[in-house]
Structure 1
Amino acid sequence: MISTKKELRYYLEQDKKALGISNRKRPKRFGDYIWKYQICLRKHEYYTNTDSRIWKHVYRYLHKKTGLKLGFDIPVNVFGPGLRINHFGLIVVNSNAKIGANCDIHQGVNIGQNHGQYDVPTIGDHVWIGPGAKLFGKIQIANGITIGANAVVNKSFTEENITIAGVPAKQIKEGCTAQDEPNCPQKGEPVHL
C-alpha cells in the first residue's frame, strides 16, 4: 500500500523496470499505453491512501478512463511493486485480492471471488500468470509459481517455484530458481512430481 511519496517513487520505478523500460523518464506522447495506465493506477493508490481529495478524484478518473480503453479492471491497493501487464485485453481483478511484488500478468486473466466477499486469492511474489487464467476462491498461491495459459485455479498451491496448469489446475512441473540451475533437470530428463 503506497502511503508516502518515497513509496510512490519506488513503485513507479519497479513497475517501469518490470515493463523493461530503462532509457526514458516519461512515457511517449503516443504509445506506452500500459505504462501510462500503471502510472495512473499507482498515483490513484497514493492519493487514495493519503486522502488527497482533489488529486484522488483526478487520478481515479484517469485510472478508470485508461482502464476502459485497454480493457483493464484493476482496483487500487491490490498489486505489489513491479507489476508487469504484457498486453491490452481484458484483465479483471477483485478489489479484495492481494498480489505480491513482481507479478507478470497477461490478457484474459480473471482473479475473482467464489462465494463470499473475502473468498478471494492471495498471490505471492514473482508469480507469472498466463493468458486466460482464472483464479478464484479463498486460495493461496506461493512465491515463484508459473500459472499456465487458460488454467482454472480453485485450490491453493503452497509449494514455491512450481508450474501449474489445466482445468482444474494441478502441478505439472517442479520449478528451479536461478540459484538451483546446476541441480535442475536437463532437457529430456524426467521431472519427479
Structure 2
Amino acid sequence: MRPRKQQLLGLLPDSLVLTHGQRDGSMRYLTFDDGPDPVHTPPLLDLLARHGVRATFFLVGEKIEQHSTLVKRIADEGHRLGNHSYSHWSFKNMTTAKKLFEIDNTDRLLSAFDGRAHHPMRPPHGYVGADILWHFARRKRSFVYWSYDSLDYQDRPDACLIDGLRCNPPRGGDIVLMHDDTDRARAALSVMLPEWLIDGHLFDALPENVR
C-alpha cells in the first residue's frame, strides 16, 4: 500500500511533490480520483456527510463540464477540489503545451465553483515529466501524490479490499489514494470509516496551503 515509487517521490521537496502530511499528528487525508461520477460520487458524499468527514476530490475536466451540479455539491459540502487534468490521458507522450492546457483548463473550470485560481494537482496515472516539474517549481506549485494506496482500482471482492485496509490502516499524515468512479471505495469506507473514527483516526481535506 506504500509502493516504492511513492517512497522515491517522497525524497523530493514537499514544495514540489507532496506525498504525505505531518507525520506527528493523527490527521489522515482521503483523496478520490477520476470523478465526478453521477452514479458513484453521490452515495460516497452521503457517507462522508454522515460521519462528518471532509476529503479532497481530484476531478477530471471533461467530467466537470458534464456534471457541474455534482461538482457544486462537492464544494458546497466542504470538500476540497483538486485538478486531475482535463482528459485523464497520461502526460507521458504529451507536449509541454498540451500538458499545460490540461492543467490550466481544468483549473479554470474548478475556479467557477470555489473561486481559486489554482488547485492541488494530481497527474493522471502519476506521470509528470521534468518539463512540468520545472514549470511548477518556478511557480511555487506542487503536485500531490499519495503515501497510502488503497488498491481500490483492483478488480477484487470488497471483502479483500476491506481486509487490506483493516490489517494495514493509514498512519498519521498519510494521503490516501481512492477513486469515486466505482463503488469500491464507498463499500470499503462504509465498513472501515466508523472503525477508524472509533480508533481515534481523524480525516480532513488537504490543507489550504497545498496549491
Q: Same fold (TM over 0.5)?
A: no
More helix by share: 2
Of structures 1 and 2, the one scoring higher in RCO (CA 8 A, sep 6+) is 2
More strand by share: 1
Larger Rg: 1
TM-score by length of structure 2 reads 0.30
